[in-house]
Every structure is written in C-alpha cells, then in structure tokens.
Copies of this chain bind each other. A is one copy, B any other.
Amino acid sequence: MNRILRVNMTDQVVTEEPVAAVYAGLAGRGLTSKIVGEEVPPLCHPLGLENKLVIAPGLLSGTAAACSGRLSIGAKSPLTGGIKESNAGGTASQKIARLGIAAIIIEGRPPKGTLWKLVIDKKKAELAPAKGLKNKNNYKLVEKLTEEHGEKVSYITIGSAGERLMSAASIAVTDLENRPTRHAGRGGLGAVMGSKGLKALVIDDKGAPAVPIKDKEAFTKAIRKFAKALKEHPVTGEGLPTYGTNVLTNLVNEAGGLPTNNFSSGQFVDVSKVSGEAQREIILKRGGIATHACHRGCVIRCSRVYMDKNKKYLTKGPEYETIWANGPNCGISDLDVIARLDRLYDDIGVDSIEMGVTLGVLMESGYIEFGDSAGAIKLIREEVAKATPLGRILGAGTAVTGQAFGVERVPVVKRQAMPAYDPRAVKGIGVTYATTPMGADHTAGYSVTANVLGVGGNVDPLKPEGQVELSRNLQVATAAIDTAGLCLFVAFAVLDIPAAFEAIYEMINAQYGLSLGPDDIAGLGKAVLKEEIAFNKKAGFTAADDRLPRFFETEKLPPHNVVFDVPHSELDSVLNF
C-alpha cells in the first residue's frame, strides 16, 4: 500500500501520490483520522467544499490474516460535527489493499446536480458520469452497476439518502454475494459522499498482485496462531457462528440492560421472539444461511442470510444492534418486521441504529405508538425513502427528531444515537458512549465484554467502579484494531487468549518487517485517539460533550433501578493520556 489516490471532484481529476511521511505506517482508522486531522478544517461545514471523505483499508487488509477485511471511512461528520471513522466489512477493503492503495481521498465538489462514479482497477482510476443512477437505492444501484462492471468487483455506494444529504446516511459495501449489505453506518458519512457528487466506487482488483509480505514464514505462523485462537474462544468460535451477533439479545436482556421503549426499561417482555435463538430457527426453517462470512478469510462467520416467509432472500442478518434498535427499543417483537426495516435501511442507505433510535424517539412523542410495526415500516418506506418532510426529519437522525418533536428523552451523545446497551445497567459502555470522540458508539470500546459477557475479566456492570479503566483500555485497543483492519470481534479472543493478542503484532511485524511489541500496539491506539480528540477540540467539543443526556443520571432504569453514576470527573480522566 504505497500510494494515495486523490480524487478532486471539482474538476473530476484523479491523481496518484506517494504516501507522505506524515501518513507513513498508518492504515485504516489510524490513517483516515490522521488525514482528516491534517487536511480538513475542523470548523468547516461537513457538507461543504472543505470536508474530505477518506477511505482506507487496514494494515492487514488484503492478506490471509483472519477477519482482516474491515474498510475504514472517515470525514468530519454531518451528524456529530466531529471527526468520524466508521468501518464496514464486505469485500472492498481487501481489493483496495491488493491494488496497493493506502487511501482514497475524495475532495472538492463537482458542479451542482452532477453525479459520478469512480472506477479503480490495476491500471487506472477515473471518474465517469453516473448515468441513470440518480436517486437509485443500493440494491437496484448495484444491479445496474453489475450490468456494466460485473460481479467480481466490489462496489462502495450510497442510496438515495446519501444523495439527499441526510445526516443518518450510510455508505454501503458489497458482500461476497455482491449485495450492498455491509455499511459504514454511523455518523452520516453517506451524506458526505453525496455532497461530493459521488454515487459509487467500483473496485476491480483483477490481475493485482498479492499483498507483499516481508517474512512469509513468520506471517504464515502468525496467521495460523491467530485463527486458532479465534476458533478456540467460546464467543468467536461458537456463540457468534451459531447465533450471529444476535446471541446478545438474551444475554443483555438477562442483565437488565436491553433498552426497551426508548430506554424506558432494561428488559423486553417479548424478548424470546427476537432472540438469536428464535432468529436461527426462522432462518433454518426458511432455508436461509445461519452461519456466513461477509468477506473472504473470516473464520468467525457471524453473518446470516434471512429469507422472507416465501423463502426468498430478504436481507442479511439482521444484526443484534439493528434488531434491538428497531425491535425492543420500539416495542416491536416481530423479526420479519425488523428484517424488512433492515432491508429498507440497507437499500435507502441509512444507519439502522440511528434510524431505530429515531423511531423510538418519534414513538415517545406520540406521533405513532410503541409497537406499531406497520407504522414503522410505512415511515421508512413512504417518508424516508421519498424524502418527504417527515422523512427528512427522521433521516436527519435522533437529535434532530427529538428537537423537532420537542422530546426530552433523546438518547444521543455528541448528537449520535446510542446503541443497544443501556448505560445505566451496563456502565462500562456508558463510559464509552460518553467519552469516545465518535459520539455514542458501542464499537469504540466494547465494555460489554467484562460487564456482561465475562470476557477479559469481570467488572460489575451496575457499579461505577472500574468502568473508566475498562473503557479506556478497550478504546485504546479498539483504535489499534481498527487501524489494523481487523474485525472488532477478534477482541473477544484477544482479551482472553494471550496468543491472539501476540499474533496481531506478529502478523504486522512479519508483513512489514517491523518489530512491534504489545506496548507499540497500545501506543498506536493512543496516538489515533489523540488525533481524533485534537480534531474535536478544535471543532468545539469540550468535557460537556463527554456526558450522557441528563435523564440517564436522574431517571432510574428498571429492573435494577439504577442511574448512570460514574462521576463526571472520572469521565474526564478516561482519555487524558
């Protein structure tokens, strides 16, 4: 990965440049955040000329390392107003890495109303008009693109939501079946891509050489060690492959931390209808796929393929977070309804967490009732997909919806919707929500591990003690994992099996001829976080932005009747390195 593609949308010129010294040695989130930090004015408008969309595969992407296919996408976020990295699975990261591309920087802005696609292969990278693709949603869009570019490439696309500059818009990446099911969902990056007039990237790695490995023997040894550990760990070797991410529904509900009816309770009465167990049964009964990889080389295989009642493909997964946001959080207990919403979200190109939490806030306003499945689907299909005024409110996300409807209980941090763990009953994740530079984001420091799953130790989820250290360590490790291009789920094994952690730096060392040790991995994670925090500070963020909404501190969550009580002073110490 020795070159950067710079895509100037203003005059539609793509140039290639070597990786500048300041960016050397970085990849994935580390590189997207560094480029955004160096090149984007923190006070610029996220949809303006000066913002840049940066796409970067991870350090290990494109190699045979297990689960190394995450693609990082970064920019100043239209949702949070801060720096954003959101990463997705799918097949694009590996192809970009094999093309030797460290990053694609999309900058400038084309003439109004024009729409483009960027076609990258071994020999060239060029922009072409995205003819006939205007306001196409992702499934139809990929179908159209496939007619011209075939099935063996990867597509990175936005649906109508991204073109329409909705703050909840995602960027889709195609999976192994050439479906737009893998999304860089959070923070409205799809709107940034839309503001650049870029509808799709076509990534064709035909004829590209293998990613160079300095020490092949050591690399082979390390990747075997890594894969072995992933297979050995009960979560990555058994729980996730069997039930997918939705293995969590029963566990989190049991812990009293499953936010229900817009964070009003920590348990959902109909939990058994939406659990991983129930989902697996439906999938198997209808001839779906219960264990499935989103990119080559994944040994966890947590993805699934969900069929409708007529045994026809409906959507992937859906994942736990999607099921929670649009299920228990909305008082909805019908997996088919949730799957239809998931399909709509992937198609329109919006974040399924942001949208589910937004629906919950709208339900709290009384506009529709909790549990109104038909109403929820209609809102997405008839309003968001058609960009009606109501669709524009919802598509702008939870914070805007809360303000427009005068709702007080709006579960966001830094204006981003909170994911599937109530911070009052899972306090470690509350610390992460509050303090990560990304806005409320479970993936930034997944304290659910030691709080609920007994992975990497045990920290009582109901008490404030120990949560800060737990979240800090996980945030640092995650920033490094996101830089490596590894799927976050490797963390389960890494936290419990020393060999898995060792294998990470051994793989990097063997690939790049380095001699990193455990401290260097932590140092890398800290450096990434520092870069992100510095950007946010310049964009105007303060300690006051590192707080949960007030109602989490004042309103008790059943069944444990707890509030979020990690002291503010402790929150301020989380990332003060």
**Chain A interface (Cβ < 8 Å from any Cβ of B):** 41-45, 47-50, 78, 164-167, 191, 194-195, 383, 388-390, 392-393, 395-396, 400, 403-406, 408, 410, 538-545, 547, 549-551, 554
Nearest-neighbour CB distance to chain B for A182, whole angstroms, equals 24
Docked CA distance A48–B554 (Å)? 11
Docked CA distance A547–B540 (Å)? 10
Given contacts A195-B406, A406-B166, contact A550 B392 (CB under 8 A): no
Nearest-neighbour CB distance to chain B for A198, whole angstroms, equals 15
27 A-B Cβ contacts within 8 A?
A42-B544, A43-B544, A43-B547, A43-B550, A44-B550, A45-B410, A45-B549, A45-B550, A47-B406, A48-B408, A48-B550, A164-B406, A165-B405, A166-B406, A194-B406, A389-B404, A392-B405, A395-B404, A396-B400, A396-B403, A400-B403, A400-B404, A404-B404, A538-B544, A540-B542, A540-B543, A540-B544
Q: Are B392 and A47 in contact (CB under 8 A)?
A: no
Docked CA distance A167–B402 (Å)? 11
Chain B residue contacts of A406, Cβ below 8 A: 47, 164-166, 191, 194-195
Docked CA distance A383–B388 (Å)? 13
Interface of chain A, main secondary structure? loop
Nearest-neighbour CB distance to chain B for A70, whole angstroms, equals 28
Chain B residue contacts of A405, Cβ below 8 A: 165, 392
Nearest-neighbour CB distance to chain B for A401, whole angstroms, equals 9
Chain B residue contacts of A539, Cβ below 8 A: 544
Docked CA distance A380–B443 (Å)? 43
Chain B residue contacts of A554, Cβ below 8 A: 49
Nearest-neighbour CB distance to chain B for A159, whole angstroms, equals 14
Docked CA distance A400–B164 (Å)? 15
A-B pairs, top 7 by smallest CB distance, nearest first, are A165-B406, A540-B544, A389-B390, A392-B404, A389-B389, A396-B404, A45-B408
Chain B residue contacts of A408, Cβ below 8 A: 45, 47-48, 195
